């Protein structure tokens, strides 16, 4: 997988303004308990919930505009988009410790 060849490339991209800072906030509506996996996609907050609603046996493309995903900016081709930093916090300790997976859904 291609990426940065060194710290200099990351710094140069930052200095050139080739970065996007965005955030999301989710308020889980389900019980969060340690050791139980759950999907924050259908929880309230920002971006708005997505409920995987599609006709039977028909794939629905999930894009930022149609599924209200995280705001990640437009196409940067031929450059690459990378996640450089991710901060996750919890408002309660009910489900802690909890692993997190950031998924890039393409369709459902």
89 vs 30: CA distance, rounded Å: 17
pLDDT value, residue 68: 65
Q: Are 83 and 3 in contact (CB under 8 A)?
A: no
Percent of the chain with pLDDT over 70: 81
Q: What's the mean pLDDT in 87-91? A: 71
Q: What's the mean pLDDT in 68-83? A: 76
Residue range of the domain that includes 80: 1-108
Q: Are strands 44-46 and 25-27 parallel, antiparallel or unpaired?
A: antiparallel
pLDDT range class, residue 22, cuts 50, 70, 90: confident
pLDDT value, residue 28: 75
> Is it the case that residue 93 has pLDDT exceeding 80?
no
Q: Which residue has the higher pLDDT, 77 or 92?
A: 77
Q: Are 68 and 26 in contact (CB under 8 A)?
A: no
> Is it the case that residue 1 has pLDDT exceeding 50?
no
pLDDT range class, residue 38, cuts 50, 70, 90: confident
Structural domain count of the chain: 1
106 vs 5: CA distance, rounded Å: 28
């Amino acid at each position: 997988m291609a990426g940065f060849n060194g710290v200099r490339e990351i710094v140069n991209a930052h200095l050139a303004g080739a970065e996007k800072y965005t955030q999301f906030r989710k308020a889980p509506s389900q019980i969060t308990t340690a050791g139980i996996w759950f999907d924050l996609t259908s929880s309230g907050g920002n971006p708005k919930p997505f409920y995987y609603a599609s006709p039977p046996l028909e794939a629905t493309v999930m894009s930022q505009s149609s599924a209200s995903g995280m705001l990640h900016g437009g196409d940067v081709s031929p450059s690459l988009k990378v996640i450089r930093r991710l901060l996750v916090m919890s408002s309660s300790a009910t489900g802690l410790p909890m692993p997190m997976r950031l998924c890039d859904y393409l369709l459902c």
